[in-house]
Amino acid sequence: MKEGTKARLGLITAMVIFGSIGIFRRYISLPSGMIGACRGLMGALFLFAVSRLRRQRLDMQSLRPSLGKLIFSGIAMGFNWILLFEAYRFTSVATATLCYYMAPVFVILASPFLLKEKLTPGKLLCVLAAVVGVALVGGVGEGGSLTGVLLGLGAAVLYATVVLMNKTLQDVPTEDRTMLQLAAAGLVLVPYSLLAENFSGVTMDGTSIIMLLVVGAIHTGWAYWLYFGSMKALPAQTVALYSYIDPIVAILLSALILGEALTPLGIVGAVLVLGATLVSERV
């Protein structure tokens, strides 16, 4: 299998996994910051265990020159999770996802300036089509609150920051990069959560524990390994456009599992998003 095809399949898989996280979060009773802390630390431990099974060690020589960027992007990732999970609390999965997925637009528009990638008219049209599609799927103006919208947009800015920074870390092995970023995200969120969040009345039943373990190992460790690994073989603009698969999955699952309605316009929007993603590879 060609490297580009493998990278695309890995990216699509990661996006499908990411798209289901809003459903899992609904069944975890912990505050958002602590979920993020557990997510980062469990994801890092999962990747560490996998690397040990494969008899791999951290490549400190490759990591050392990029240590500052890795830690900063890990911190941005952690606070991105907090804002996204809080957006899910204040508004519907559809509206929060719509706002969050302004991030690929930020990446595509910034890539000509920060990464020297050419932004073609065709690619720009695909971005606009994807934005319109997500707006239709999310149902603009329905089921949201200003607080939820602002939290979603704040998460989008941090998400775009993580993507752009990872494009500058091409010389760092994917497993090592992902492990360190997840550990940094988890560690910075522990004191934040303990100082800023209220744990009174919080109880963790069996369902919450299972959901948290799945979010840590699958939605974080494995999914981010696939996601960051795909960046090595794909342009930032392609990664950004494929990211729109995530909100489509999220909103379809919210309709099927949580009963959040998907309108005929929403179906049109889903087609627009997926069509824009496919066409973008040819323009």
Name the DSSP letter for residue 142: S
CA atoms within 13 A of residue 158's CA, in its CB half-sphere: 20
- pLDDT category, 149, cuts 50, 70, 90? confident
Supply 219's token pair. Answer: 């939605």
Q: Of 81-90, 119-128, 203-212, which has the strongest mean pLDDT?
A: 203-212
Report whether pLDDT(215) > 70.
Answer: yes
- Looking at the predicted structure, is the pLDDT value of residue 213 above 90? yes
Q: Is the pLDDT of residue 120 over 90?
A: no
* Matching residue, tokens 């899992």: 24
The answer, yes or no, to whether residue 14 has pLDDT greater than 90, is yes
Summarize the confidence of residues 224-243 as an average pLDDT: 81
pLDDT tens digits, residue range 47-84?
888 888 877 777 777 778 888 888 899 999 989 988 98
Q: What is the DSSP letter of 65?
A: G
Residue 278: predicted pLDDT: 67
Segments making up each domain of the chain, as ranges? 3-280
What's the Rg (C-alpha) of the chain? 18
The H helix count followed by the E strand count for the chain is 15, 0
Give me the mean pLDDT over the 239-263 stretch. 78
Residue labelled with tokens 């960027």: 69
Residues of the chain above pLDDT 90, percent: 15
Q: Report how far residue 261's alpha carbon sits from residue 204's, in angstroms, rounded to the nearest whole number.
A: 29
Higher pLDDT pick, 251 / 194: 194
CA distance 143 to 154: 19
How far, in Å, CA of 239 to CA of 101, rounded? Answer: 13
Residues 19 and 246: beta-carbon distance below 8 Å: yes
Helix/strand/coil (H/E/C) assignment for every residue in 6-55:
HHHHHHHHHHHHHHCHHHHHCCCCCCHHHHHHHHHHHHHHHHHHHHHHCC
Q: How far apart are CA 234 and CA 14, in angstroms?
A: 14
Give Cβ neighbours of residue 58 (< 8 Å, ≥ 6 apart): 51, 176, 179
Residue 225, classed as helix, strand or coil, is helix
* Residues above pLDDT 70, as percent of the chain: 91
Asked if residue 99 lies in contact with residue 159, where contact means CB atoms within 8 angstroms, the answer is no
Query: Is the whole-model pTM more than 0.85?
Result: no
Residue 155: pLDDT band with limits 50, 70, 90: very high
Does the pLDDT of residue 211 top 90, yes or no? yes
